[in-house]
């Protein structure tokens, strides 16, 4: 093996390693917007592309609650006060095919097309 080939292999591997690192840090598994509806009212929307780290959201209504976990890849309910736990059993959703519904707590979670919103929140 000539020295030039050896150097080539080493440089090649290093480039692959750097590209791999960039890829892992920036991978976008999914796109779309998570919309959370409570009692029919949209209370929160999150653009999946803007999710850098996993987020937990707890929705409380008197003694009832659902805890929702949002990651880059999708959304799921991880804790709930309801008796049937259908919302937890639905698992993680990634697209608009199936919403997560918690009928006892009147909560619906959907992944919908992205509506680009430049604001962090709204006053009304």
Partner 1 sequence: MFKKKILTIGMIIILSLGLISCAEMNNSKNIKEEGKSYEMSEKILGTIVSGAAYGKNSKEALEKAFKRANDIEDMMSVNIEDSELSKVNREAFNKNVKLSDDLYYVIDNALYYANLTKGAFDPTIGHAIDAWGIGTDHAKIPEKSIIDKYKGLENYKNINLIQNTKEIRFLDENIKLDLGAIGKGYVGDEMRRVLKEEGIKSALLNLGGNVVTLGKKTNGEKWSIGIRNPKNDNDISAALKASDEVVVTSGNYERYFIKDGIRYHHILDPKTAYPARNGLISSTIITKNGIDADALSTATYILGPEKSKKLIESLAGVEAYFIKDNMESVETNGLNEKGFRVK
Q: Which residue, chain included where needed, has tokens 């919103």?
A: 117
* Residues in Cβ contact with 66 at an 8 Å cutoff, skipping those fewer than 6 apart: 58, 59, 77, 79, 80, 81, 82, 87, 102, 105, 107
Q: Which of 8, 29, 43, 95 binds partner 1 (CB under 8 A)?
A: 43
Q: Which of 8, 61, 84, 112 binds partner 1 (CB under 8 A)?
A: 61
For residue 80, the surrounding DSSP H or E stretch is strand 75-80
- Do 64 and 89 meet the contact criterion of CB atoms below 8 Å apart? no
- Do 105 and 81 meet the contact criterion of CB atoms below 8 Å apart? yes
What is the closest distance, in whole angstroms, from the C-beta atom of residue 2 to partner 1 in the complex? Answer: 11
Q: Which stretch binds partner 1 (CB under 8 A): 77-85, 87-95, 96-104, 116-124?
A: 116-124
Q: Which stretch binds partner 1 (CB under 8 A): 50-58, 80-88, 89-97, 98-106?
A: 50-58
Binding site for partner 1 (CB under 8 A): 1, 6, 9-10, 13-14, 16-18, 20-21, 24-25, 36, 38, 41, 43-44, 52-62, 118-124
């Amino acid at each position: 093996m000539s020295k030039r080939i050896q150097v080539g292999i080493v440089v090649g591997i290093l480039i692959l390693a750097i590209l791999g690192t960039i890829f892992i840090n920036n991978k976008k598994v999914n796109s779309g917007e998570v919309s959370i509806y409570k009692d029919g009212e949209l209370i929160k929307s999150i653009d999946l592309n803007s999710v850098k780290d996993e987020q937990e959201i707890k929705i409380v209504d008197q003694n009832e609650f659902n805890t929702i976990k949002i990651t880059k890849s999708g959304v799921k309910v991880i804790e709930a006060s309801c008796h049937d736990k259908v919302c937890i059993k639905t698992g993680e959703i990634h697209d608009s095919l199936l919403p997560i519904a918690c009928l006892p707590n009147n909560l619906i979670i959907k992944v919908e097309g992205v509506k680009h919103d430049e604001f962090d929140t709204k006053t009304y």
